[in-house]
Amino acid sequence: ETGVTQSPTHLIKTRGQQVTLRCSSQSGHNTVSWYQQALGQGPQFIFQYYREEENGRGNFPPRFSGLQFPNYSSELNVNALELDDSALYLCASSRQESGNTIYFGEGSWLTVV
């Protein structure tokens, strides 16, 4: 158990809708990253938040956005859902000052129909 919790665990959305995924980071961790993992692939970096600001972004369009709150929890928002957005969305937390190892939650499975 990493102490990183994500919700919801599974959800189904219709193309064009919007979705919000939530993550609570491990106690003592101040940095949150989000990853997308398609079936049979490795996780792909979406973005990272540190001190409530975006601190790096991968090759994802602006309809993928996020927030980090003062308690270091985070949200991932995806607008105008497309079928290809169907994937496992992983949240990972770390402590910026204690090295770079990231610890993952169990993920949120998103299916877009």
Partner 1 sequence: EDQVTQSPEALRLQEGESSSLNCSYTVSGLRGLFWYRQDPGKGPEFLFTLYSAGEEKEKERLKATLTKKESFLHITAPKPEDSATYLCAVLYNFNKFYFGSGTKLNVKP
Positions that interact with partner 1 (CB under 8 A): 2, 4, 31, 33, 35, 40-45, 48, 50, 55-56, 58, 90, 99-107, 109
Nearer to partner 1, 55 or 73 (CB): 55
Q: Are 111 and 47 in contact (CB under 8 A)?
A: no
Nearer to partner 1, 55 or 86 (CB): 55
Minimum Å distance from CB 101 to partner 1?
6
Q: What is the DSSP letter of 7?
A: E
Show the CA angle centred on residue 57, arms to residues 33 and 102, nearest 5°. 25
CA distances from 5 to 74, 79, 84 (A): 11, 23, 24
**CB neighbours of residue 96 within 10 Å:** 13
Minimum Å distance from CB 51 to partner 1?
13
Structure tokens at 44: 């792909």
Minimum Å distance from CB 69 to partner 1?
19
Nearer to partner 1, 3 or 16 (CB): 3
Minimum Å distance from CB 6 to partner 1?
8
